[in-house]
Amino acid sequence: MLRFLQKPGPLKKIILGSILVVICVMMVITLVPGGLFGDYLGGGLTTQGVIAKVGDQEIGLQDVAQQARLIGRQQFKGNIPPAIMPYLMQRAAQNLITQKAVVYEADKMGLGVSDEELRENLHQGDMGQVLFPDGNFIGQPAYEQMISSQFNLSVAEFEREIKAEIAQRKLLAAISAPVTVSDKDIAEEVKKQDTKVKFDYAVLTLEDVQKQIKPTDAELKAFYEQNKQLYANSIPQKIKARYILIGTEKLADQVSITPAELQQYYKAHQDDYRIPETVTVRHILIKIPTPDANGKVDQKAVDAAHAKAEDISKQLKAGANFGDLAKKYSDDPGSAKDGGLLPPITRGRTVPEFEQAAFSTPVGQTTGIIRTSYGFHIIHVEAKQEARLKPLDEVQPQIGPLLKKQKGSAEAQSVASAMETRARTAGMEKAAAEKGLAITTTDLITQSDQLPGVGSAPDFMSALFSARKNDPPAAAPTPMGYVIYQVTEIQPPQTPTFEQVRTKVQDQFRDQRAQALLAQKTQELSDRAHADHDLSKAAKEVGATVKTSDLVDRTSQVPDLGAMTGQASIAFTLKTGEISGPIQGGPNGVVLKVVEVQESSPEQVKLGWDKAKETLLQQKRDEYEGLYAENLRTQLEKEGKIKINKKEMDRLTSTSEGT
């Protein structure tokens, strides 16, 4: 279906970004009051393995597990604690149900997504070159392999996910379009963004306070008993397993590729090897103002921009260097620093007026002034390349390894399937011996361990730790091939004795006591400073260190205090000479005294107006979209368009059995 991708034009980050946009939006939505799964569990859905149904779209346990692993990989860097999986499964189910609700409504409103829209979506962004290096599609097989290896999805499933995300964006953008902000709010935001302060601050460090905490064994044992739930099952589940490796690379080395196979593949994928017509240009852009809310354009500013472009054109005709003028005058920051040079352009990649001028102008020539929606351009054509088809001899070094890898992967899958069946009937030893392969037996391992020959394979380890003791042998894919595995022993999570975690208990006891003591001493510091109107004197009395900040804004970082957000932002509300209350500055306790306040000037207000307006609009849009999605889901549940399978939902809370 993705043949249209072979057309020139603009993936791990694009793909992951698209999918994670959905996850992040849904994670925000789940925080809106209304309960984990709403008040409408049930609805008559009882199909085994189906968590919920939205319209005619089913959400299966496999879908939820896949989403949960994606969330877990982001939060735990691939090593997902088994005890966390039930929570991730619940959250993933919530995400998917709400996501499907928005997609359902988008479809109902006719906000479909065409293949062309999907293509443009994949072309845009930082990773467009992954799929289309130098404007050329990497090819259908490579595309399919990338989707499969990176996301364990088929191309159809992946495209369905991306189209759903685009449809959601369309709907939510339409819903939040009427959102506005007042001039008063914008002015306050500008002031908030541009106000700078300088202050003295007294610091009490947690490290110094901790040194004063010297607990006895009796205190530590009492702390352990009082907080035993903190250590419950903190020794993770461990298992022993045995497995047979079936490596794709080894099998790929053993296969041969015939000239006929090379020719057949080349003919079937010629579009992958077509080099499109390209033109390489330099350009100078003089921007024009965008229309205001009423669609009006500042004509005086447009005329001024055109006059500037005309002056540059005259300088070029007089012999000035194009690159030098681009660096000096161009309003395109991406190319100006390179003398206006753009990457090679293919047809359909830029606005029509620019494209027509670039492709129709001879090499070495410079155009007149070209107007587009961006402004006024002057274009100099550096080089052109005609469209052509790479011959087989040129691309054979790419096709050969690809076909070998495909054959090796198919053979590995076939061998794994046959061996799984054989191992279940005759045992792993016989299955391995018949193929001349070895069985590897592990010691007790945790889910975060890497197995010899397997390497980093989070999905496989998750499957391994989901298996029960002495289950029949099973096959699982890994980045290196396939594994036939069987769990032989399970050691459930354990609660350590006091002696086993004495060091940890001591650290936590000291941390807890030190935090309380730090808060007490910081409050004392604040009280003394306010009583005497003297921060330096109070600091000396309680043993704090006094420092002075630079002139900082809300985006700044201050040593020993950290980011000027959260509690530290109180500094921007104080007048010169005022002293704050106690502040938590990272691990430290801080009290500050403002010594200088610099507010935004009228010129700064004017310059920061658009940025502040967009910041406030985005905040309001996010809130509006979240509330809309929550209300939509509630409405669809009431109407019976969303049905929840209570029995299957309850299963999500079950942890993996260790027996």
Q: What is the pLDDT of residue 611?
A: 81
118 or 437: which leads in pLDDT = 437
Helical residues (DSSP H) of 273-332, grouped into ranges: 299-317, 322-329
Percent of the chain with pLDDT over 90: 43
Q: What is the pLDDT of residue 128?
A: 62
Radius of gyration of the chain (CA): 32
Pairing of strands 196-204, 545-548: antiparallel
How far apart are the C-alpha atoms of 467 and 446, rounded to whole Å? Answer: 14
Residue 514 has pLDDT above 50, yes or no: yes
Residue 459 has pLDDT above 70, yes or no: yes
> How far does CA 584 lie from the centroid of its chain?
30
> How far does CA 425 lie from the centroid of its chain?
44
| Of 82-86, 268-272, 348-352, 535-539, minimum mean pLDDT range | 82-86
Q: What is the pLDDT of residue 83?
A: 63
Q: Which helix (H) or strand (E) holds 160?
A: helix 155-176
How far apart are the C-alpha atoms of 190 and 186, rounded to whole Å? Answer: 6
Q: What is the pLDDT of residue 622?
A: 85
- HEC string of 72-104 equals HHHHHCCCCCHHHHHHHHHHHHHHHHHHHHHHH
- Average pLDDT value for residue range 579-590: 91
312, 378 Cβ separation under 8 angstroms: yes
Q: What is the pLDDT of residue 34?
A: 36
471, 486 Cβ separation under 8 angstroms: yes
How far apart are the C-alpha atoms of 538 and 544, rounded to whole Å? Answer: 8
Residue 3 has pLDDT above 80, yes or no: no
How far apart are the C-alpha atoms of 481 and 128, rounded to whole Å? Answer: 28
Q: Residue 452: which pLDDT band, with cuts at 50, 70 and 90?
A: very high
| Of 127-131, 203-207, 556-560, minimum mean pLDDT range | 127-131
How far apart are the C-alpha atoms of 592 and 548, rounded to whole Å? Answer: 9
Looking at every residue in the chain, the average pLDDT score rounds to 84
Q: What is the pLDDT of residue 437?
A: 94
205 or 33: which leads in pLDDT = 205
Q: Which helix (H) or strand (E) holds 244?
A: strand 238-247
Helices (H) and strands (E) counted in the chain, each on its own, are: 24, 19
Angle between helices 61-76 and 85-108 (to 10 degrees): 120
Q: Residue 88: which pLDDT band, with cuts at 50, 70 and 90?
A: confident
Return the number of other C-beta atoms located less than 10 Å from residue 373's C-beta: 9
Residue 82 has pLDDT above 90, yes or no: no
Cα torsion for 334, 340, 342, 346, to the nearest 10°?
A: 120
- Assign 3-state DSSP to the chain and report helix, strand, coil percentages, each to 5: 55, 15, 30
pLDDT tens across 603-625, in order?
766 777 888 888 888 888 888 88
Percent of the chain with pLDDT over 70: 88
Q: Residue 654: which pLDDT band, with cuts at 50, 70 and 90?
A: low
Q: What is the pLDDT of residue 294?
A: 65
Q: Residue 227: which pLDDT band, with cuts at 50, 70 and 90?
A: confident
How far apart are the C-alpha atoms of 198 and 591, rounded to whole Å? Answer: 13
pLDDT tens across 261-291, in order?
999 999 999 988 888 899 999 999 999 987 7
For the ranges 2-6, 61-65, 581-585, the one whose mean pLDDT is highest: 581-585
Q: What is the pLDDT of residue 8?
A: 37
Q: What is the pLDDT of residue 124?
A: 65
Q: What is the pLDDT of residue 190?
A: 75
Q: Residue 127: which pLDDT band, with cuts at 50, 70 and 90?
A: low
Beta bridge partners of 552: 197
Cα torsion for 356, 358, 360, 362, to the nearest 10°?
A: 170
- Average pLDDT value for residue range 532-560: 94
- Average pLDDT value for residue range 342-356: 89
For the ranges 47-51, 211-215, 231-235, 470-474, the one whose mean pLDDT is highest: 470-474
Half-sphere exposure of 83 (CA within 13 A, CB side): 11
Q: Residue 296: which pLDDT band, with cuts at 50, 70 and 90?
A: confident
Residue 81 has pLDDT above 80, yes or no: no
Q: Residue 367: which pLDDT band, with cuts at 50, 70 and 90?
A: very high
How far apart are the C-alpha atoms of 62 and 492, rounded to whole Å? Answer: 25
How far apart are the C-alpha atoms of 137 and 7, rounded to whole Å? Answer: 7
| Of 75-89, 418-432, 513-527, minimum mean pLDDT range | 75-89
94, 30 Cβ separation under 8 angstroms: yes
Q: What per-residue string of b and e applies to 103-141 under the rule 16 or more CB within 10 Å gives b?
A: bbbbbeeebebeeeebbebbbebebbebbbeebbbbbbb
Q: What is the pLDDT of residue 33?
A: 35
Helical residues (DSSP H) of 427-468, grouped into ranges: 428-434, 458-466
564: tokens are 């000027």
Say which DSSP state 62 is in: H
How far apart are the C-alpha atoms of 498 and 502, rounded to whole Å? Answer: 6
Residue 225 has pLDDT above 70, yes or no: yes
Cβ-based neighbours of 524, under 8 Å, separated by 6 or more: 542
| Of 263-267, 345-349, 384-388, 446-450, minimum mean pLDDT range | 345-349
How far apart are the C-alpha atoms of 577 and 596, rounded to whole Å? Answer: 8
Q: Residue 105: which pLDDT band, with cuts at 50, 70 and 90?
A: confident
Q: Residue 41: which pLDDT band, with cuts at 50, 70 and 90?
A: very low
Q: Which helix (H) or strand (E) holds 526?
A: helix 502-532
How far apart are the C-alpha atoms of 24 and 20, rounded to whole Å? Answer: 6
How far apart are the C-alpha atoms of 644 and 40, rounded to whole Å? Answer: 8
Say which DSSP state 48 is in: T
430 or 29: which leads in pLDDT = 430
Angle at 296 (CA atoms; ends 293, 299), nearest 5 degrees: 140
All domains in the chain, ordered by first residue: 2-179+620-651 (1.10.4030), 196-233+499-598 (no CATH), 238-267+392-491 (3.10.50), 277-386 (3.10.50.40)
Cα torsion for 494, 499, 505, 509, to the nearest 10°?
A: 140
Helix (H, G, I), strand (E, B) or coil at 343: coil
For the ranges 166-170, 441-445, 456-460, 569-573, the one whose mean pLDDT is highest: 441-445
Q: What is the pLDDT of residue 251?
A: 86
Helix (H, G, I), strand (E, B) or coil at 201: strand
Residue 25 has pLDDT above 50, yes or no: no
Q: Residue 79: which pLDDT band, with cuts at 50, 70 and 90?
A: low
Sheet of 439-441: strands edge to edge?
A: 439-441, 238-247, 481-491, 474-478
pLDDT tens across 160-177, in order?
888 888 888 888 888 888
User: Which of these, 42, 6, 128, 61, lies nearest to 637 by C-alpha position?
Assistant: 42
598, 196 Cβ separation under 8 angstroms: yes
Residue type for position 521: K
105: tokens are 């409504």
Where do we find the tokens 């000396």? 540
Distances (CA, A) of 550 to 196, 331, 617: 10, 33, 31
85, 641 Cβ separation under 8 angstroms: no
| Of 22-36, 82-96, 200-214, minimum mean pLDDT range | 22-36
497, 514 Cβ separation under 8 angstroms: no
- Average pLDDT value for residue range 102-113: 83
Q: What is the pLDDT of residue 167?
A: 82
Q: What is the pLDDT of residue 27?
A: 40
Distances (CA, A) of 497 to 216, 245, 503: 18, 38, 12
Residue 52 zone, left/alpha/beta (φ > 0; ψ -120 to 50; rest): beta
